[in-house]
């Protein structure tokens, strides 16, 4: 239950009561829009911007959002193969005809392109670079830095994501490449408050990655949003990424006292990811570790939360983080 709540509620929806907070978060929340072989559109999940400039934005989402996009774009005809633990380049098509990212601000909406995606098979987090379709000089949205700490059981947390997502075609494409297609897209920014119900440093059941659970339900489209600990006078920083809801019915939740939980991936493993600092026209990338970018002051994090981690060599030549002794 929420502390000091005489009604015994386990979670609350804060969106309607906090329009200014919704407006603050709206420009950093993105939605992934996939297209199948017949140009049919589908919104597949949420992401959020953790850094950026006029040229590109760094976006975090859940790995299974990218997997879902890949399956929707081109359903597999055989079983995929991969070496567990390795950081890989997903097979999702980044062609703008197959994948777009929606970002909205007050009174405006933009479709953006995805330039790069990477994830680790043993985690449910993914890292993306998205770029504007056209030059947007001076447009640098507020970003949500990473909080590399793990909340404790009983802590109050907020979940921020996109819900109510729906897309439909209002006019079919005029050309084979999809030009002329008109879409009607709906989505809203959701803010929910609840408590941390458990912490699983080594994974939980089929969720074999560092994670924690909350009393906040996560519904369709919310995967890839972020969770943060509200602190008076402190910056908002993402300590987790929405991964799964333990209720598999996917029905809308309106009972604030319901005993249902969501699984949240810890954010700190992102420190072990490579981020391209430049992409050449031939697709060649020059990479840097997120942890190194943080140490150099080029990537924001919450206070000194990243100082407790270091990169360790792992089996299969992958990279893995460990806490400093």
Mean pLDDT of the chain: 85
pLDDT of res. 318: 46
Question: Is pLDDT of 120 > 60?
Answer: yes
Give the CA angle between residues 82, 87, 88 to the nearest 5°: 55
Q: Which of 2.40.50.140, 3.40.50.800, 2.40.10.120, 1.10.150.20 is the CATH number of 11-269?
A: 2.40.10.120
* Band of residue 88 on the pLDDT scale cut at 50, 70, 90: low
How far is it, in rounded angstroms, from Cα 256 to Cα 7?
10
pLDDT of res. 78: 46
How far is it, in rounded angstroms, from Cα 11 to Cα 156?
10
pLDDT of res. 250: 64
Higher-pLDDT residue of 174 and 158 is 158
pLDDT of res. 30: 95
pLDDT of res. 105: 80
pLDDT of res. 65: 95
pLDDT of res. 244: 93
pLDDT of res. 135: 62
Question: Is pLDDT of 138 > 90?
Answer: no
What average pLDDT does this structure show over 23-42?
91
What average pLDDT does this structure show over 48-61?
89
Q: Of the given ranges (28-42, 61-75, 170-184, 238-252), which has the lowest mean pLDDT?
A: 170-184
pLDDT of res. 82: 47
Percent of the chain with pLDDT over 70: 87
> pLDDT for 190-243, tens place per residue?
999 999 999 999 888 889 899 999 999 998 889 999 999 999 989 899 999 999
Percent of the chain with pLDDT over 90: 43
242, 161 contact by CB (below 8 A): yes
């Amino acid at each position: 239950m929420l502390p000091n709540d005489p009604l015994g509620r386990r979670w609350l929806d804060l969106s309607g009561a906090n329009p200014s907070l919704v407006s603050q978060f709206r420009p950093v929340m993105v939605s992934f829009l996939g297209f199948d072989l017949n140009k049919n559109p589908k919104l597949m999940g949420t992401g959020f911007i953790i850094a950026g400039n006029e040229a590109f934005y760094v976006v975090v989402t859940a790995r299974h959002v990218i997997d879902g996009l890949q399956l929707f774009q081109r359903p597999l005809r055989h079983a995929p193969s991969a070496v567990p633990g390795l950081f890989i380049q997903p097979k999702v098509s980044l062609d703008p005809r197959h994948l777009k990212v929606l970002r909205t601000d007050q009174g405006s909406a933009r479709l953006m392109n995805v330039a790069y995606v990477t994830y680790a098979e043993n985690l449910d987090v993914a890292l993306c670079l998205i770029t504007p379709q056209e030059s947007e000089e001076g447009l640098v949205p507020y970003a949500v830095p990473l909080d590399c700490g793990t909340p404790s059981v009983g802590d109050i947390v907020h979940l921020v994501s996109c819900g109510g997502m729906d897309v439909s075609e209002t006019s079919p494409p005029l050309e084979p490449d999809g030009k002329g297609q008109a879409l009607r897209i709906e989505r809203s920014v959701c803010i929910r408050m609840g408590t941390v119900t458990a912490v699983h440093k080594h994974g939980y059941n089929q969720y074999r990655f560092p994670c924690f659970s909350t009393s906040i339900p996560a519904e369709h489209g919310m995967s890839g949003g972020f969770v943060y600990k509200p602190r008076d006078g402190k910056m908002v920083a993402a300590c987790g990424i929405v991964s799964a809801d333990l209720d598999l019915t996917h029905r809308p939740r309106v009972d604030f006292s319901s005993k249902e939980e969501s699984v949240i991936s810890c954010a700190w493993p992102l420190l072990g990811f490579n981020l391209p600092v430049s992409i050449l026209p031939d697709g060649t990338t020059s990479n840097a570790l997120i942890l190194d970018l943080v140490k150099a002051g080029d990537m924001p994090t919450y206070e000194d939360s990243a100082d407790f981690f270091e990169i360790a060599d792992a089996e299969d030549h992958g990279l893995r983080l460990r806490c400093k002794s």
